[in-house]
Amino acid sequence: MTQAMTKGTDRITTVTYDTFNALISEGQGPLVLEFMSYGCAHCRALEPILQEIAERVSPSMGIFRVNIGIDRELAASFDIEGTPTLVMIENGVEVNRVEGPHPTVSTLLAEITHSFEL
């Protein structure tokens, strides 16, 4: 679908408006959506952190990437104003949002797991 922003295994799946709706209808969750752009320096800096978090969290939690340059419809449906923005969703409902860069794995992992009370 899209290139990984880092070398090695990409543990974050890119979704579009259509594939996201399928995830929600299938009851997939909890979900973390990373709204990003390949031209965003903060997004590129966040990528290895999200890759490590994706490796650490439970397989039942999905971390997904939305490229706002390509999928404007999904970004607009979440009122995304800047990148990177992470939106945590449980049972089809947004439960938390984190905007801007987060420099460490532990900081961002705490935000994500706190959102779902894991």
Please report whether residue 39 resides in a domain.
yes
**103 part of a folded domain:** yes
Is 84 contained in some domain?
Answer: yes
CA 76 – CA 117 distance, rounded (Å): 27
Q: What is the mean pLDDT of residues 89-113?
A: 86
Specify if 31 maps to a domain: yes
The CATH number for 107's domain is: 3.40.30.10
Q: What mean pLDDT value characterizes the chain?
A: 84
Contact 84, 100 (CB under 8 A): yes
Residue 65 domain-assigned (yes or no) = yes
Q: Is the pLDDT reported for residue 85 higher than 60?
A: yes
Q: Is the pLDDT of residue 1 over 50?
A: no
- The answer to the question of residue 6 being in a domain is no
pLDDT score at 112: 87
Count: domains in the chain: 1
In a domain, 100, yes or no: yes
Instruction: Report if residue 22 sits inside a domain.
Output: yes
| Sole residue written with tokens 């900081």 | 107
Q: What is the pLDDT of residues 5-30, one digit of tens each?
A: 444 578 898 999 888 888 777 766 68
Q: Which CA distances in Å does 9 have to 12, 55, 81? A: 9, 10, 29
For residue 118, name the pLDDT band (cuts at 50, 70, 90): low
What pTM was computed for the model? 0.84
- Parent domain of 95: 13-116
